[in-house]
Amino acid sequence: MHQRTELTLLSSIALALALAGCGGGGGKPAAPPPSTHSSLLGKPAPEFRRPAMGGESVTIASSKGKVVVVKFFAKYCEPCKRTLPAIEKLHKDRADIVIIGVAEDEHEAEAREVVQTYGLSFPVVHDASNVLAARWRVRELPVTYVVDGQGNVAWVGGPERTESELVAAIESTKP
């Protein structure tokens, strides 16, 4: 019986290593989880240069070579209340990626309230006129875009996507 338990343990470890990408998969990153439909998938991310509410200038082009996460949200969005703490945690835990928030609130005071409420420490752009939402073809909130190091949209996560799917999408885009 002891030998069978040991064999089961070894099989479990081998399976865990394979699922984690350490099982001899040739070093290729795992495929990303299913993406929310978007006509931007596989295409260059729409470029923008905007001032963040903190005063710094935000642009995707300055992050070439890095994975960029662009998160659209608003104060009135109920699912955003669930996803904003997760994206802030990701920002604090992962210095290797760039996170840009885009607030779709009508008034900047509402966007600032969201930033303060959730303690968002990444740059947040206020998109009062919804110009960025139109360029990025945002149809619902929240929505999260993962842009690879070459500047292409690699994954899109709508409100039904989870934090673990976002992390898996980021890992699949790393060089």
Q: Are residues 5 and 58 in the same domain?
A: no
Per-residue model confidence (pLDDT) at position 62:
86
Cis omega (within 30 of 0) for bond into 142: yes
Q: Are residues 3 and 53 in the same domain?
A: no
Q: Are residues 21 and 38 in the same domain?
A: no
Q: Are residues 20 and 43 in the same domain?
A: no
Q: Are residues 100 and 161 in the same domain?
A: yes
Q: Are residues 61 and 10 in the same domain?
A: no
The residue range of the domain holding 19 is 1-27
Q: Using CA atoms, how far apart are residues 67 and 147, in angstroms rounded to an integer? A: 6
**Mean pLDDT to the nearest integer, 27-33:** 68
Q: Are residues 54 and 123 in the same domain?
A: yes
Per-residue model confidence (pLDDT) at position 153:
96
The pair of three-digit structure tokens given for residue 17, joined into one six-digit string:
């290593």
pLDDT band at 28; cut points 50, 70, 90: low
Residues 31-65, buried b or exposed e (16+ Cβ, 10 A)?
ebbebbebebeeeebbebebebbeeeebebeebee
Count how many domains the chain has.
2
Q: Are residues 20 and 98 in the same domain?
A: no
* Of residues 173, 127, 167, the one with CA closest to residue 151: 173
Q: Are residues 23 and 35 in the same domain?
A: no
Q: Supply the CATH number for residue 95's domain.
A: 3.40.30.10
pLDDT band at 122; cut points 50, 70, 90: very high
Terminal C-alpha separation, the chain: 45
**Mean pLDDT to the nearest integer, 12-28:** 39
Q: Are residues 118 and 37 in the same domain?
A: yes
**27, pLDDT greater than 90:** no
Q: pLDDT (tens digit, 9 = 90+) per residue, 73-99?
A: 999 999 999 999 999 999 999 999 999
Residues 6+ apart with CB under 8 A from 66: 96, 97, 98, 149
pLDDT band at 24; cut points 50, 70, 90: very low
